[in-house]
Amino acid sequence: MKAISQNTYGGPEVLQEVETDRPQPGPSQVLVRVRAAGMNPTDWKHRQFAGFLDRLPLVLGWDVSGVVEAVGIGVTIHKPGDEVFGMLPYPYGVGSFAEYVVAPARALVRKPEGIDHVQAGAVPLAALTAWQALVDTANVRPGQRVLIHAAAGGVGHLAVQIAKEQGAYVIGTASAPKHALLRELGVDEAVDYRNQDFTEIEPVDLVLDAIGGDTAARSLDVLKPGGQLLTIAITSMPADLPARAAERDIQVTPVLVEADQAGMRAIADLMAAGKLKAVVEATFPLAQAAEGHALGDTNRVAGKVVLTLP
């Protein structure tokens, strides 16, 4: 099969299309013929340095949407021909930038009818991150004020929709040209981070931070006592942030996404009901994965970039 592999860390040019053996599903696994694979910031970060995956050569990719080709012994919930989507177990179950990938059967769910593979392939990692942060961890409730940083980004634009579905009042930060998109997604209040100080808005109950650094630190100034700062920018979170937050009766919670069939089912239900949709800025065929990475490196993507396979 064809796959996108790298033998060293660096820029998009380290990604090469290679021929490699097609994997075989083991017990409780399925072999999926990949139709679409979403790209995420964690992909371009792991392309640049080892991160969680200190191994080479490396085939990146956690998002997958495709068709079950074969099942391993003991699999009862999927059969060959089923259209499925989900996230490979993060971080070690990587490898969807390929024509075929093996996944734990229960990391995947059936793709809703009427949702194409590009849309399904764009969603899993980012939507699971948002769902696990906002719903499983913070238990967002109707009427709560939620501030989402980078609200037009991969996680952010899905987090906006999930928070709105939970009944929250949502404030989103993004550059001014992306405010129209935020309004379409349901944001109640848009903040231009380039020209506005987000700490001047009315206090919020919850912040979802995908940026880290100074943005995470300043988010304490906008949280109510008893509030919560959820950060997915774990590696760039200031070391003293939890202690500073505790002095203000604010909880800091780092969130790392996990493979989660229950979460994927909830996400699939929202998609089927038309309540959750990925914004796809660009698609690239598998062979042009490096171009997708180069676009991601600009940090200006609205929504997602997706690799497609015939």
Q: What is the DSSP letter of 279?
A: -
Could you tell me the pTM of the whole model? 0.97
Total residue count of the chain as it appears in this document: 310
Q: What is the DSSP letter of 300?
A: -
Written as one string, the DSSP assignment of 15-82 is -EEEE-PPP---TTEEEEEEEEEEE-HHHHHHHHS-TT---SSEE---EEEEEEEEE-TT--S--TT-
Rounded Cα–Cα distance for residues 67 and 188 (Å) = 38
pLDDT at 38: 98
Task: Measure the CA angle with vertex 117, ends 139 and 115; round to 5°.
Answer: 65
- Residue tagged 């209040």 (tokens): 189
Low-confidence ranges of the chain (pLDDT < 70): none
Task: Measure the CA angle with vertex 284, ends 281 and 285; round to 5°.
Answer: 155
| Phi-psi domain of 226 (left: phi exceeds 0; alpha: psi -120 through 50; beta: other) | left
Angle subtended by helix axes 261-272 and 124-131, to nearest 10: 100
For 297, other C-beta atoms within 10 Å of its C-beta total 15
Rounded Cα–Cα distance for residues 258 and 265 (Å) = 14
pLDDT at 48: 97
Q: Mention every residue, 6+ apart, whose C-beta is less than 8 A from residue 294.
A: 11, 12
Rounded Cα–Cα distance for residues 115 and 49 (Å) = 34
Rounded Cα–Cα distance for residues 301 and 310 (Å) = 24
Where do the domains of the chain lie, and which CATH numbers do they carry? Answer: 2-123+278-308 (3.90.180.10), 126-254 (3.40.50.720)
- Residue tagged 């380039």 (tokens): 194
pLDDT at 251: 97
CA distances from 169 to 194, 267, 269 (A): 22, 20, 22
